[in-house]
Amino acid sequence: MTFSIFGLAVSQGIAIGRAHLVSHAIMEVAQYQLRDKDIPAEISRLEKAFATTAAELESLRAEATAPGSPAELSAFLDLHTMILADPMLAEEPKVLIRDRRCNAEWALVQQMQQVTAQFDEFDDPYLRERKQDIVQVVERVIKALQGKPRKLAKRGKDEDLIVIAHDLSPADTIQFKNLRIGGFVTDLGGATSHTAIVARSLAIPAVVGMHHARPLIQDDDLLIVDGTRGALIIDPDERILEEYRLKKTALELQRSKLKRLKTAHAATLDGVDISLQANIELPQDMADVKAVDADGVGLFRTEFLFMNRDDLPDENEQFEAYRTVAKAMMGKVVTIRTLDIGADKEAKALRGAERIQPNPALGLRAIRYCLAEPQIFMAQLRAILRASHYGKVRLLIPMLAHASEVDQALAMIEAAKVQLRAQKVKFDEDIEIGGMVEVPAAALALGPFLKQLDFLSIGTNDLIQYTLAIDRTDEAVAHLYDPLHPAVLRLISLVIQTGQRAGLAVSVCGEMAGDPKMTRLLLGMGLRTFSMHPSQVLEIKQQILMADAGQLAGKVARLLRMEESERVRELLVKINA
Ligand code: PEP
Ligand code: MG
């Protein structure tokens, strides 16, 4: 039976394919309430998952007893089989399902947390470590409950693989770069979460904030992801499939027509030159940057070099990555942002320094983290400075709010320069240093930035989050995340005007820069440098070529006087018409 569910459209396009269910983290299983009549079925679902897991362990044991297999493997399987059979895990969750009417995954994780909490108290390290075994066993059962397949689902010739997850971290999503993933859908997430940003950078259709998609979908279900409308269509009939195949072809045609703009010079109808730069996460994104002939790299999110690994990239490894990008751009600007770790961007290797933060988006992230971890910061600064010898590298500092942070960051850059000079290592002595304006305090009190920095880059994703007090990753408040809120627009306009008046180059590198509905608005505010995912560059260029910057300035000045988002929206529709 065909049915549709809706979430937040975060990455445009259409994917038609088979569902591949993944579980990201055991702690992130969905919680839902059952009706009384569904309780017996839920208990039997849990029992079946235990039976599947037991069978899985049994078949692994057969492999483990084959000649040449390590003895530890067999011991480990014995232990896991024993844990699986323990009534604390096998029986207690059933009580929770009955008493609290909660789903099996949730009951199991609750029980696991209770059991493992006691393990932290043990003095004996061997016993303490057994906690991990319990977690692994529970993870197996959860996967069996959620139907996670051992292998990727089979695909037809024209079918993509569609990843369905309760949640995906940016670190999970970046791994899609190496896989053929057609689209993805998550129950959690906001439109400018880094997971969504990575999806757009990969140009794969994605819908987030679905709430309950995962429990409704089985592996191998035929799905359509409509990343433009924010819809997921499950088990579409032939008529709907045909309609979407046509839409998909039309979109592809539109995209391929845009390719003709690659060599066109980006200038408005009244002759104002615009710089269209690219945001990248990893050096391998350079192929996409080249494919659209972007005018530079406006934002290199270096924290992605730190993800999906157990160690830290050292100075040399970082240097190689930055140099690769600097050289590939052959003299065009390359803006390397220092580590913006924290909030939704995590790196395992940095966990040692991680503190429990009640509100990570307001906590020790970005420059705050770097100033608290000078060794990590220093290694990165030296790597960036060294790479500056090989191209037009600029250094960008995220999330500045205080004059003291600018002072400290500049002092550390100076110290890194002194070290390199002493070692006779070459670097660009005049490297430009810029600051991201993404905290309202910075936008309103730009003085220290203007005096000490060479350029500004407006991070609208965070600026919106902090201005409106909306967690950009939280789908529950996603409807309040509004780039067109008058307060947001006035801050952006203020930074552009004040920065340019002081003679600083100002760019926007948040998601607004790559949204064609925002191009005229930003042009009218006076913006001349846009940085976005490579996949958006040609579409934005098309908008630029059709716009008249002079005319837009007057219209946008009127729009900025509006007091309500709705009025802003209405006027913007007219401006864009
Ligand atoms: C922003 O906040 O707009 C930005 C570009 O930085 P990030 O999305 O990486 O936080
Ligand atoms: Mg930011």
Ordered by start, the domain boundaries in the chain are 1-20+150-238, 24-145, 266-576
Name the nearest CA neighbour of 513 among 457, 570, 562, 552.
457
Name the nearest CA neighbour of 283 among 332, 314, 317.
317
Residue type, 57: L
Decide: helix, strand or coil at residue 231. strand
Which of the listed residues 174, 340, 473 should we mutate to test ligand 1's pocket, taking the one with most ligand atoms within 8 A of CB? 340
Angle between helices 549-559 and 565-576 (to 10 degrees): 160
Pairwise CA distance, residues 506 & 28, whole Å: 39
Which of the listed residues 173, 439, 461 should we mutate to test ligand 1's pocket, taking the one with most ligand atoms within 8 A of CB? 461
For atom 9 of ligand 1, which residue has the closest CA?
Answer: 301
Pairwise CA distance, residues 514 & 12, whole Å: 12
Which of the listed residues 169, 299, 307, 509 should we mutate to test ligand 1's pocket, taking the one with most ligand atoms within 8 A of CB? 509
CA of 340 to the centre of ligand 2 (A): 8
CB contact set of 393 (below 8 Å; sequence gap of 6+): 322, 326, 334, 335, 336, 384, 387, 428, 431
For atom 3 of ligand 1, which residue has the closest CA?
Answer: 459
Q: 298 vs 141, 278, 294, 301, 513, CA distance in Å?
A: 45, 5, 9, 10, 11
CA of 563 to the centre of ligand 2 (A): 26
Identify the pLDDT of residue 173. Answer: 77
CA of 488 to the centre of ligand 1 (A): 15
CA of 252 to the centre of ligand 1 (A): 28
For atom 4 of ligand 1, which residue has the closest CA?
Answer: 459
* Tens-level pLDDT at each residue, the chain (577 residues): 889 999 999 899 999 999 988 765 455 577 788 889 999 999 999 999 999 989 988 877 776 666 655 565 677 778 889 999 999 999 999 999 999 999 999 999 999 988 888 877 777 766 776 776 787 788 888 878 877 544 444 455 567 889 998 877 776 777 677 667 899 999 888 888 888 888 888 889 999 998 888 778 888 899 999 999 999 999 999 999 999 999 999 999 998 999 999 999 999 999 999 999 999 999 999 999 999 999 999 999 999 999 877 789 999 999 999 999 999 999 999 999 999 988 778 776 775 444 556 788 999 999 999 999 999 999 999 999 999 999 999 999 999 999 999 999 999 999 999 999 999 999 999 999 999 999 999 999 999 999 999 999 999 999 999 999 999 888 889 899 999 999 999 999 999 999 999 999 999 999 999 999 999 999 999 999 999 999 999 999 999 999 999 999 999 999 999 999 999 999 999 999 9
Residue type, 505: A
Encoded tokens for 130: 């057994």
Decide: helix, strand or coil at residue 563. coil
- Do the domains 24-145 and 266-576 sit in the same CATH topology, yes or no? no
Q: Out of 194, 370, 485, 533, pick the active-site residue.
A: 194
Tokens 């480990």 belong to 76
Per CATH, the number for 266-576 is 3.20.20.60
Architecture of domain 24-145: Orthogonal Bundle (1.10)
Identify the pLDDT of residue 51. Answer: 94
CA of 325 to the centre of ligand 2 (A): 21
What lines the ligand 1 site, CB under 6 Å?
A: 197, 299, 301, 340, 438, 459-462, 509-510
* Secondary structure letter of residue 153 according to DSSP: P
**Residue 509 appears among annotated catalytic residues:** yes
Name the nearest CA neighbour of 251 among 546, 532, 535.
535
- Residue 458 CA: nearest ligand 1 atom is 3
**Residue 194 appears among annotated catalytic residues:** yes
Tokens 């024209």 belong to 158
Identify the pLDDT of residue 131. Answer: 76
Decide: helix, strand or coil at residue 217. coil
Encoded tokens for 281: 């996460």
Bridge partners of 18, per DSSP, are: 161, 222
Superfamily of domain 1-20+150-238 in CATH is Phosphohistidine domain (3.50.30.10)
Pairwise CA distance, residues 443 & 441, whole Å: 5
